[in-house]
Structures are given as C-alpha cells and as structure tokens.
Amino acid sequence: HRPGTPLTSTSFAGPQIVVSVYGPDFFGNDVVRGYGAVHIPFTPGRHTRTIAMFVPESTSTLQKFTSWFTGRRPEFTDPRVVAQGEGREVTRVRSQGFVTISFNVV
C-alpha cells in the first residue's frame, strides 16, 4: 500500500486487532466507551502502538435525548465496520481518547 492511495477491499492491509471498550454509564448500564483498530506488526521485537478511540454519535438532538433517556447509545453491531472503515464516512463519530497496546513479535 502506497501512502496517499485509498485501501480497497481487494488490497491486503494485513491482520488487525479491533478493540471495543465498554463501561458503565450514569445509570449503571454497560455502554460502549470507544472503538479502535490497529495493524499487527510483522517484524520481530517489541512494538507499542497507540490506538485512537472513537464512539458513534446520534445524528439529531431527538436521537441524542432518546438514547440518553433509554440508556441505549449507538454502537456498531459488526466489528468489521471498525477494521475496514468502508462505509464509515457516512457515520458520525466523536474522538474518545486513546488505548496503548504492546506487541511482542517472535
């Protein structure tokens, strides 16, 4: 993959780890706190990667209020959406911190 060229479904980008972080909200419901993905390094050694996390957001004020009131926030049902990014350009997301992961590749 050359920098500046978009990845397509036919190009191979290598294996990835998809991270989904959940935690309790104000009412004690388990809600999504963030999604992120990172490619697994191929070279031997210790590698540290920082994953930028994001959460999907409701598109309207009414949807935001309804999701707050019911305790059901928007979330992805398929982890491939996070890994591929295809179709995500029409999804509204908000940055939600970082997760640091370490790999020990042999």
pLDDT at res. 84: 77
- H, E, C per residue of 25-83: CCCCCEEEEEEEEEECCCCCEEEEEEEEEEEECCCCHHHHHHHHHHCCCCCCCCCHHHH
In order, the DSSP letters of 76-103 are: -S-THHHHH-TTGGGS-EEEEEEEEEEE
In this predicted structure, the answer to whether residue 1 has a pLDDT above a threshold of 50 is no
pLDDT at res. 38: 93
The whole-number average pLDDT for the span 70-92 is 72
* Segments making up each domain of the chain, as ranges: 15-63+93-105
In this predicted structure, the answer to whether residue 10 has a pLDDT above a threshold of 60 is no
pLDDT at res. 89: 64
Q: Model pTM?
A: 0.71
Question: Residue 59 is encoded by which pair of tokens?
Answer: 């598109």
